[in-house]
Amino acid sequence: MQSGPREIVTPFRPIPLDVPEGMAPNEFFNSAENLADLVNNNGLLQNPEGLLLYRKALGHSNEFDCSIIYNTSQTILDPLGRPVRRTQVPDGVKNVWNRMNQIIIEYMLERYPDPAAHLVLAGEASLDATWPLTSPGVPSIRMLHNHFIVFDKEGLRTAPLADEANPNLTDGGQHSLFQAHMRDVYRAFFDELDLEILQPCQQGSCRLALTGYPQGLPSWEIVGGAKMLKEVRFWKEYDIILKGFIDFYRTFFSQVSTRNAPLPRDIHFPELVEAKLQFNNDFLKAAKMVRDRCIKDAKYANAIRWQPAFKQLIYRNDAGKLIVTISQNSIGNAITELLGVVVKRKPDAEAYGRTEPALIEKLLEVRRRLVEADLGSGVATAQWDAA
């Protein structure tokens, strides 16, 4: 079997939504009107904290695919003012969200116990609130949301290899600025974080044999496995990884923007940033390289994402271990591509209809478990009842 990224075709039922004349689709998708449609047509569960579990109408996988969104569309009308990463979520909301994550991941591992048969992943990509709304690659829903996805590995094995030059296959080995020019600085910075449950993987040990991904990214094994997702300490460490990434990202691009810039405001680990980054010649040399190119190359400068953009996920590797990894989200790609899975969505209502009953049955079972744990109430749609 040849190892390499795969491109799969996922059929979907075309969504009967009319974008108002004069609006770009991603402008409309960020509107309160569209989010109301998402609740009414695909909503599964919602709670007083504003978290909505919903079926992905344009899904990655018809085996299992759903998301939780922090639906602030009715309370924060400015799309640029909405929370777009875990660090911006109130503690009470985050507590509920983490418990929802734990229960859904537990269900996926229970329903799909064989790592040789199914690829299981869960995680979120940042929605960088500094992009113009009409820029290419801007996410269609500018609110914090995450993904829960299962792929059938036999389907991946028989799928054609994806073009490895596909710019959406951003990973540490090919496209990431941090990995290409600051690998040692990057890893040394993460090594200083206070982690107990998350232990660094040896380079290459967490790759999926089928795709060869992820490549070159810092990754951590969840020591103790799925049961650790029930521990508050795990979710604190999951946030520590993100906070460390954000500090690294913000510090670097502050130096790119302004030579010898001061420490960014509201940094999470100021002493670590000062000791390991602001006084590191390799780090500052890379910032100068990017700054010099920005000054001379308008197209390159326009593509810079000046605020933290990332993908962070939990996935099961070939050995059945749960792994956490994080990547610079430099293109706006799907979270699945971090693991070497390129999804080509195809409108085909008939093909989607053949998989829909089994998919909905699994999603409703997840909803039942969440309701039982007092994590929300069911939402009724034309296809399912509220209970």
pLDDT tens per residue across span 176-214: 778 778 889 999 999 999 999 999 998 778 999 999 999
Q: Which of 66-70, 73-77, 101-105 has the lowest mean pLDDT?
A: 73-77
DSSP symbols for 202-228? PTTTT--TTT--S-S--EEEETTGGGG
- So what's the pLDDT on residue 131? 59
Residue 174 dihedral angles phi and psi, to the nearest 5°? -120, -50
Give the pLDDT band (50/70/90) at residue 309: confident
How does 315-326 read in b/e, with b if 16+ C-beta sit within 10 Å?
Answer: bbbeeebbbbbb
- So what's the pLDDT on residue 135? 61
- So what's the pLDDT on residue 171? 63
**172 pLDDT more than 80:** no
Give the pLDDT band (50/70/90) at residue 78: confident
**34 pLDDT more than 90:** no
| Domains annotated on the chain, with CATH | 1-163+333-387 (3.30.428), 171-330 (no CATH)
pLDDT tens per residue across span 208-260: 999 999 988 899 999 999 999 999 999 999 999 999 999 999 999 999 999 99
Mean pLDDT, residues 37-64: 94
Q: Residue 212, by phi and psi: left (phi above 0), alpha (psi -120 to 50) or beta?
A: left
Give the pLDDT band (50/70/90) at residue 169: confident
pLDDT tens per residue across span 327-348: 887 554 678 989 999 999 999 9
**266 pLDDT more than 60:** yes
- So what's the pLDDT on residue 16? 75
Looking at per-residue pLDDT, the higher value among 345 and 137 belongs to: 345
CB 242 within 8 A of CB 268: no
Please name the amino acid found at residue 21: E
Give the pLDDT band (50/70/90) at residue 48: very high
- So what's the pLDDT on residue 73? 85
- So what's the pLDDT on residue 235? 97
Q: Which of 112-116, 140-144, 265-269, 294-298 has the lowest mean pLDDT?
A: 140-144
CB 175 within 8 A of CB 216: no
**134 pLDDT more than 60:** no
- So what's the pLDDT on residue 137? 53
d(CA 140, CA 10): 18
What's the mean per-residue pLDDT of the chain?
90
| Residues forming a β-bridge with 124 | 146, 312
Mean pLDDT, residues 137-150: 79
How does 3-40 read in b/e, with b if 16+ C-beta sit within 10 Å?
Answer: eebbbbebbbeeeeeeeeeeeeebbebbbeebbebbbe
Looking at per-residue pLDDT, the higher value among 126 and 44 belongs to: 44
Tokens standing for residue 97:
């969200």
pTM to 2 decimal places = 0.94
CB 151 within 8 A of CB 117: no
**142 pLDDT more than 80:** no
What percent of the chain lies above the pLDDT cut of 70?
A: 93
- So what's the pLDDT on residue 15? 79
pLDDT tens per residue across span 7-25: 999 999 987 778 888 887 7
Mean pLDDT, residues 284-313: 90
